[in-house]
Homo-oligomer: A and B are copies of this chain.
């Protein structure tokens, strides 16, 4: 890693799959879901020894920025970039790239979600260093996760031929990006051995990704040029807001990666990665007791003939007693109690939709 190495943490999202703990005002990344730190704090801590704090940018929205600055005061205030409105990952990547290029024409950037979990920090560091080497050579590198089961919850990356340029970790050409598959297709992907999950972690040179944006997304490119020109002047805010709000919402995968020239994938196994995308995913992330039970946050659990059950509490004075309960997720918050069979935890989203439809704002 060099002084030209940057990390861009993307933290704009809301996400309803960890409701009722994640809410409009307190999205997943700002919560202490795993241990005492929030996912955002853990994400930043994971970058130690890779990036100096001055080289870490955070792109987020106004509602979350204040809390983030409090949670991670080590990052300079100006490194928090506030989206006037969420405009998709292509816009965020483009904005970060154009601002970094302005500051440092040789910038290489890692784009990282703020709300993922990675158990094996040493391997993560090793992979990032290897990815920066490949990125230096002009590749748009994606970090792929070697699948452990035929998940239908992730996009997949099909790898092609190995790139033999002597990197310290195997790097492959990308043959294709695939949307979230159905069960049968996921099975096929898993068996073939040539597919990785798309983790949403990317490493590239700012100038390389900007060249792809110029080619593939000219409207975004034009907006970014205008924004960049007035950035740091009195007109920054007005121009940024006007240009930004006119952008289409497009993902970086769809907008750039699928048709880019030099796209590479580093398929990572053993990273202990989770996108913490559902309550059930906490079973992969936290260490259960010998009955398979997990107590998260402040839950006080008295378990009697209970197995493979997750209890997330919010009030350590409250006693949570389970009797004869198996494979269940219990989330106890101040105003909502959720009891959910573990393998149904993706349906939390349907409940949130229902509450939205019926304008139960106070629970959202």
Contacts and interface: CB of A to CB of B under 8 A. Distances in A.
A323 to B, nearest CB: 4
A322 B320 CA distance: 16
B323 A341 contact: yes
A357 to B, nearest CB: 12
A330 B339 contact: yes
Nearest to A354: B302
A335 B302 CA distance: 13
A328 B323 contact: no
A335 B321 CA distance: 11
Nearest to A358: B302
Interface in A341-362: 341, 343-345, 347-348, 350-351, 354-355, 360
Contact of A339 (B339, B345, B350): B339
A325 B320 CA distance: 17
A72 interface: no
A295 to B, nearest CB: 13
Given A20-B321, A323-B348, A351-B302, A337 B341 contact: no
Contact of A318 (B325, B328, B337, B347): B337
A163 interface: no
Q: How many copies does the complex hold?
A: 2
Contacts of A335: 317-319
Interface in A329-343: 330, 332, 335-341, 343
Contact of A323 (B319, B340, B355, B363): B340
> Of residues A345, A351, A360, which shows the largest number of chain B Cβ atoms within 10 Å of its Cβ?
A351
A363 B322 CA distance: 15
A103 interface: no
A332 to B, nearest CB: 6
> Of residues A302, A330, A345, which shows the largest number of chain B Cβ atoms within 10 Å of its Cβ?
A302
Nearest to A309: B339
A166 interface: no
Given A319-B363, A321-B20, A305 B344 contact: yes
A324 interface: yes
A338 B304 CA distance: 11
Contact of A336 (B318, B337, B360): B318
Contacts of A337: 318-321, 330, 332, 337
B338 A321 contact: yes
B318 A351 contact: no
Interface in A147-170: none
Contacts of A328: 325, 339
B336 A321 contact: yes
Interface of A: 20, 302, 304-305, 317-325, 328, 330, 332, 335-341, 343-345, 347-348, 350-351, 354-355, 360, 363
Smallest CB-CB A-B distances: 7 pairs:
A324-B344, A324-B341, A323-B340, A320-B337, A319-B336, A321-B338, A323-B344
18 contacts: A302-B354, A305-B344, A305-B347, A318-B335, A321-B339, A321-B340, A322-B339, A322-B340, A323-B341, A323-B344, A323-B351, A324-B341, A324-B343, A325-B339, A325-B340, A328-B339, A330-B339, A332-B337
